Every structure is written in C-alpha cells, then in structure tokens.
Structure 1
Amino acid sequence: VLSNNMAERAMKTLVMGRKNWLFSQSFEGAKSTAVILSLLETAKRHGLDSEKYMTYLLEHLPNEESLAKKEVLEAYLPWDKNIKRACK
C-alpha cells in the first residue's frame, strides 16, 4: 500500500513552523528557530528522544573549545553512535 503519511507529517511541521516564525523578532531569530526544528525532526527520524537530545546538546556544546571544527559538530549530530546511546 502506497502512503504519503511521512511527507504529510513533515509538511505539518513546516506549517506549524511557519506560524511560529511570524513571531520571531528578527530574521536571525527565525533562522535559529528553523535550525532547531530541523535538528529536532532529524533526531525524531533517527529514533531519538527529542527532549533528551536537546538537553544533551545544551549541556555539552558549551563545553567545546571550538565549534568551528567540522568533526566537533559531527559528533553532536543525531546519527552519531554516542548520541544514539545517550538519547534513545
């Protein structure tokens, strides 16, 4: 059976996001909101608990020396094995 439920759910998130972006105080604020929503949706797709994932990011990222290094940031993406272990 063909289904487009995943696509419809993704669109619902975008529509809800669009409504929220109306209340952003600036373009940068709207951009930040979009990045956070994107990370949360990606985390969900990888089977992570979104709240645990966000908490993990907020607890660990401030302790990093340099967020400009690609390998540092990659260690915090939802498909990283350590992230999966910590945020299931």
Structure 2
Amino acid sequence: MLYTLVENARANELDVYEYLKYLLIEMPNNHHLEDPSVIDSLLPWSKELPEQCHLKRNRKKCLKH
C-alpha cells in the first residue's frame, strides 16, 4: 500500500515526503470512518491538497538535470 501511495504521489507531481507527512497528520484527525467522502480530499490528484505537497517548479528542473 505504501508503494502505491508513493508512486501515485510521484505520478501527480507531489513531493512524496510532504504528501506522506500530510496524510499521517490528517488521517487521525478527520472523520473518514463516519464520512468516507473525506478521503477524496486526501487523494494525490485532489485540488484541495496544501501547496507544500506539490513539487516546486525549480526543484523539478534540478531533478531532471
């Protein structure tokens, strides 16, 4: 399951560390068991993810070289 999270984060151009940290902080604090639709906001393609989860453009360029 962790591998899937990491690869989906990469495929959606997320900072894997920041995304996983965000999930570990948010999951215990939300009510996803009572309302499963909360999970949608945590998916790697969600537009509701905080900015720190997204790769910075300059950083991506550095990684390619």
TM-score by length of 2: 0.71
Aligned to 2:6: 40
What's the CA shift string for 1:9-60, capped at 9, x where partnerless?
xxxxxxxxxxxxxxxxxxxxxxxxxx11101100100000000000000011
Closer/same/farther in 2, CA of residues 44 and 62 from structure 1, 3 Å limit: same
Aligned to 1:61: 27
Aligned to 1:8: none
Q: CA deviation at 1:68?
A: 5.3
Q: CA deviation at 1:83?
A: 1.5
Bigger Cα Rg: 1
Aligned to 2:40: 74
What amino acid sits opposite 1:81 in the alignment?
A: K
Preserved contact between residue 32 and residue 39 of structure 2 (Cα < 8 Å)? no
Cα distance between partner residues in 2 of 1:84 and 1:42: 16
Considering fraction of residues, name the structure with more helix. Answer: 1
- The 4+ residue runs of structure 1 with deviation greater than 6 A are none
- Backbone CA RMSD of aligned residues: 1.6
